[in-house]
Structure 1
Amino acid sequence: MHHCEGRCAIVGTWHATFVLDAPLWYKSAEELLKPGSGLRKFVGFQKLATLNPKTSVQMESAFASASAIGDQRQKIEEYKHILSSVIASNDVVQAKKFIDHILSDDVPLVVSRQLLQTFAQELGRLEPENQKEIAHYTLHQIQPRVVSFEEQVLVIREKLAELYESEQLWSKAAQMLSGIDLDSGMRVIDDKFRMTKCVQIARLYLEDDDAVNAEAFINKASFLVSNSQHEVLNLQYKVCYARILDLKRKFLEAALRYYDISQIEKRQIGDEVIDEDALEQALAAAVTCTILAAAGPQRSRVLATLYKDERCSRLKIYPILQKVYLERILRKPEIDAFSEELKAHQKAILPDNVTVLDRAMIEHNLLSASKLYTNISFGELGTLLGIAPHKAEKIASRMICEDRMRGSIDQVEAVIHFEDDNEELQQWDEQIFGLCQALNDVLDTMAKKGDMTKEQKKNEDTTMWTQPMRTHPFNGRHDVARFLAT
């Protein structure tokens, strides 16, 4: 039996007389007060300090006592008691002192890792502002030895990112996750984890419409998606990629991506439920991006695909899709109604002081005018488009140079001459007609020379013209030319 009057470093100064069943070694207050700790009775007990140490002297004393313990397991447990007291106090100064100590040379690396891991997991118990300050301080202190604490840094950054995300500070959350080393050679990281983090960071940046930073991480994920078997992750990647193209105003490419997403047949992918509203939103986004895309043959093909999709008829923007597909000139009330359905970046002002929407509508109306007029003066075209004549000329010249519209410009007469695409198709038909006629002439010549018997000639005709006859049951081979000429 031992009698002593001592000091418990973790809780401050205590004056007490203990009756113990075992020799006295350093014990925390929690250990002394636990049942079965060896404490049988008190002979006078007075608390002179609060449970959480407030002075640097008390903290240093607690650290010294813990570091003096030889047994590693007991050492870790004692430090965890100190950590619990620090976390409960919600005191930034104490937390920083604890971090400084466990990262010092006084604490073995193995112990530091375990304590820092526990500390990182307990961060969520702190007040949000204190949590931010302490987490940032910890990351700063770890930086010189970050290679030794990669797992702990990962947990701290994820906790801090969750906090920023809960406060809708999307870019800060993304920046916190982007600090995770996904190419570390010190620990094993599988491709699924890499892709998950890249897509997560991209999605956070996209919440703030930051397409530049989002694209950087989606590009990293693009190297991993081909081998990914995780359907939910692959879908998230596709959505992010489509949104990035949309934000970068690559509207035609974005439309194709959105349309591909809208055609998903499964309604349950992993834990994710795909509802009809989400698919309808993707389809509406595809229609919107197609209308905003640069007018030309490629846009016309996508418009045809969307117009023939029965689902589009249920969309709110279907009337304008119909008019754009039918190449009708759009008036201001129709354009204003469509603009209400657009996002901010789709109405952004371009360097030439024209909005994205205005440019798309002007180009569409110009292309529609080319179907109605053989030629038109700059002044009349400007009036039709609602812009200055010189701007109308500039837009028309750009579309002609980019092969998005067929025509020529007479600057002397200030007139634009439009060419009909049907003329090119007619020339193509004439070339096919000439080829078929020449082939018929060759066959007639060979028949006259008697190079083939009547039976051989019959077999030859049957072989050469069987496939076309399945589609177009002509009466004779000369009918091929006559059919193509019509």
Structure 2
Amino acid sequence: MDLDEIAAAGDQKAKADQYRAVLEQAVASGDAAACRRFVDHVLSDAVPLVLSRQLLLAFAQSLPQLAPDVQRDVSTYALDKVHPRAVSYEEQVSAIREQLAAVYEAQEEWSKAAQALAGIDLDSGMRLLDAEYKLGKNIKIAMLYLEDNDAVSAETYIKKASSLLAACKNEALELQYKTCYARILDSKRRFLEAATRYYELSQVGKRRIGEHEVSGEDLEQALLSSIKCAILAAAGPQRSRMLATLYKDERCAKLALYPFLEKVYLERILGTAEVEAFAEGLATHQLAKLPDGSTVLERSVTEHNLEAASKLYNNIYVAELGALLGVAPDKAEAVASRMVMESRLQAIIDQVDGLITFKAAPEPLQQWDRNIAAVCQAVNAIVDDAAAKGIRLS
């Protein structure tokens, strides 16, 4: 029957059955034009809202039967047509967007898939959505953006997910969240934080979480990622602590990367050949160019070698330091001055003589004693001041 003839019929149940028959015929034919006509009619004033919602949901559920290109076409068309009245069709819009995202994902158009899901209103007051559903969608969107190396967009949605974690006790989603967050930190070159997150993931243990089986390969990959990020992190005490944790982990001794980790941990100067071998296993963003023209790895190796040199020499001329690090003298001085200012290197730079004098970092216990002495002196000063003002402290 013609769609207008069905609309003119009086029996609502018969109308619904006839509309579904037309929908099945349009989907079976794979005709995009027929599907678009059905959407136009269903959203017209000729169809009551209650019936319109049922038919549009049936349309969304029928989409997987269409060819991918046709499905993309009619899904996009339906979303454009329903947009002015989206508040009245939130469930239907969500179903269409999920099917459209699945098509984009299958075709590896990651950002388009993420944008399709991001169009779902998760904060609507019209529908009651549980925390688990919202958490799952935000994590999924973030992971899709990460596939296109869009860490900025991914971070937006992982932050939304973080606020939902407390209300959700789904262990599988929590694991996905931790994995996604570690990858975002890695992509944004916050390597020290990423190394910590990856190391936590490597300690999950082989077991089934939800539908996912955590394998030994997954744990090894997380451990390798932790090592790479720790090595790429800015030289300093925090990096040294992370390297110590990894070096003392028995699992690391079995990895091919262990000799390089050992040399970094023991603060030995790294050679060009071994650095190049290490670079072969790094991701694109870990080899990205920095504003000064060097790569992330080159900066990390230069800072590491400078810190290693501080253990070998009491002092060294800037020109000799540049030759040791394989960089120009002015760059060696710039790296050293930055590390000194950030309290990552104990040294004095004499620019007149072009000499860098390294100072030994204070022993932890000696620093602890000095801190306690400073607190005691501050308390005594307060007591003396109070006594001078006639205030008795019990």
Q: State the distance in 2 between where 1:220 and 1:210 align.
A: 16
User: Deviations 1:369-403 (Å, cap 9, x if unpaired)?
Assistant: 01111111110000000000000000000000000
**2:79 equivalent to 1:136:** no
Q: Aligned AA for 2:338?
A: R
Q: State the distance in 1 between where 2:279 and 2:215 align.
A: 26
Mapping of 1:317-396 within 5 angstroms? Answer: 317-396=257-336
Q: State the distance in 1 between where 2:369 and 2:144 align.
A: 57
User: Deviations 1:15-39 (Å, cap 9, x if unpaired)?
Assistant: xxxxxxxxxxxxxxxxxxxxxxxxx
Alignment match of 1:296 (pick from 229, 236, 259): 236
Mapping of 1:98-137 within 5 angstroms? Answer: 98-137=38-77
**2:212 equivalent to 1:212:** no
* Maintained 8 Å contact 2:206/2:216: no
Q: Aligned AA for 1:245?
A: L
The aligned counterpart of 2:215 is 275
* Maintained 8 Å contact 2:339/2:345: yes
TM-score computed with the length of structure 1 as normaliser? 0.75
Q: Secondary structure at the match of 2:344?
A: coil
Q: State the distance in 2 between where 1:111 and 1:321 align.
A: 65
Q: State the distance in 1 between where 2:4 and 2:217 align.
A: 62
User: Deviations 1:120-178 (Å, cap 9, x if unpaired)?
Assistant: 11111112111111110000000010011111111111111111111111111111000
User: Which segments of 5 or more consecutive residues in structure 1 lack a partner in the other structure?
Assistant: 1-9, 11-61, 436-486
Distance 1:83 1:307, change over 3 A: same
Q: State the distance in 1 between where 2:234 and 2:260 align.
A: 16
Tell me which stretches of 4 or more aligned residues in structure 1 moved more than 6 Å. 429-432
Q: Aligned AA for 2:13?
A: R
Question: Alpha carbon RMSD of aligned pairs, Å?
Answer: 1.7
User: Deviations 1:213-237 (Å, cap 9, x if unpaired)?
Assistant: 1100100000011232100000000
Distance 1:429 1:242, change over 3 A: closer
Q: Secondary structure at the match of 1:160?
A: helix
Q: Secondary structure at the match of 2:349?
A: strand
The aligned counterpart of 1:200 is 140
Q: State the distance in 2 between where 1:189 and 1:196 align.
A: 12
User: Deviations 1:153-206 (Å, cap 9, x if unpaired)?
Assistant: 111111111111111111111110000000011111010000000011111111
Q: Secondary structure at the match of 1:409?
A: strand
Shift of 1:94: 1.9
The aligned counterpart of 1:66 is 6
Alignment match of 1:223 (pick from 141, 153, 163): 163
The aligned counterpart of 1:156 is 96
The aligned counterpart of 2:205 is 265
Shift of 1:315: 1.1
Q: Secondary structure at the match of 1:408?
A: strand
The aligned counterpart of 1:16 is none
* Maintained 8 Å contact 2:205/2:214: no
Shift of 1:271: 2.2
Q: Secondary structure at the match of 1:226?
A: helix
* Maintained 8 Å contact 2:98/2:117: yes
Q: State the distance in 2 between where 1:114 and 1:361 align.
A: 62
Q: State the distance in 1 between where 2:301 and 2:280 align.
A: 15
Mapping of 1:14-33 within 5 angstroms? Answer: none
Distance 1:72 1:171, change over 3 A: same
* Maintained 8 Å contact 2:318/2:354: yes
Q: State the distance in 2 between where 1:142 and 1:232 align.
A: 34
Q: State the distance in 2 between where 1:67 and 1:415 align.
A: 90
Q: Aligned AA for 1:169?
A: E
Q: Aligned AA for 1:231?
A: E
Identity rate, percent: 54
Q: Secondary structure at the match of 2:345?
A: coil
User: Which segments of 5 or more consecutive residues in structure 2 lack a partner in the other structure?
Assistant: 375-394
Higher helix share: 2
Q: Secondary structure at the match of 2:120?
A: coil
Mapping of 1:463-478 within 5 angstroms? Answer: none
Q: Aligned AA for 1:174?
A: A
Distance 1:146 1:425, change over 3 A: closer
Q: Aligned AA for 2:325?
A: L
Q: State the distance in 2 between where 1:317 and 1:100 align.
A: 60
Q: Using CA pairs below 8 Å that are at least 6 residues apart, which structure has the higher relative contact order?
A: 2
The aligned counterpart of 1:400 is 340
* Maintained 8 Å contact 2:206/2:215: no
Q: State the distance in 2 between where 1:119 and 1:63 align.
A: 15
Q: Indicate the larger mover: 95-104 or 138-147.
A: 95-104
User: Deviations 1:232-287 (Å, cap 9, x if unpaired)?
Assistant: 00000000000000000000000000001111135122222111110011011111
Based on CA coordinates, which of the two structures has the bigger radius of gyration?
1
